[in-house]
Amino acid sequence: TEVENVKEKQIVIGDEHVVTGLEQAVESMKAQEKALFKVHPHYAYGSAGNAALKIGPDAQLTYEVELVSFEKEKESWELDKFE
């Protein structure tokens, strides 16, 4: 078991680098809420694991999350010419 302590990290829902289980869990949270999530392998890296991250096959992942804040993605009509 390896633990990564990250003080603050920004994630983007829909980003290929965020496991499905964590995305679904964070989407259910409210601002300032804290939660502990256990993500089943089917919603993480599955039977393949992730060698680059040293996550073995069929690993259940555990995340302790505090949703400090969130920003809703702007709709196309809300973008200015520089975005």
φ, ψ for residue 61 (rounded to 5)? -100, 145
List CB contacts of 12: < 8 A, sequence separation 6 or more: 18
What's the rounded mean pLDDT across residues 38-48? 96
**Beta carbons within 10 angstroms of residue 82's beta carbon:** 4
CA angle 2, 33, 41 (to 5 degrees): 40
Task: Inform me whether the pLDDT recorded for 44 exceeds 60.
Answer: yes
Mean pLDDT of 57-70: 91
Q: What is the mean pLDDT of residues 27-54?
A: 94
The answer, as to whether pTM is greater than 0.85, is no
Token pair for 66: 């505090």
Tell whether the model's pLDDT for residue 5 goes beyond 60.
yes
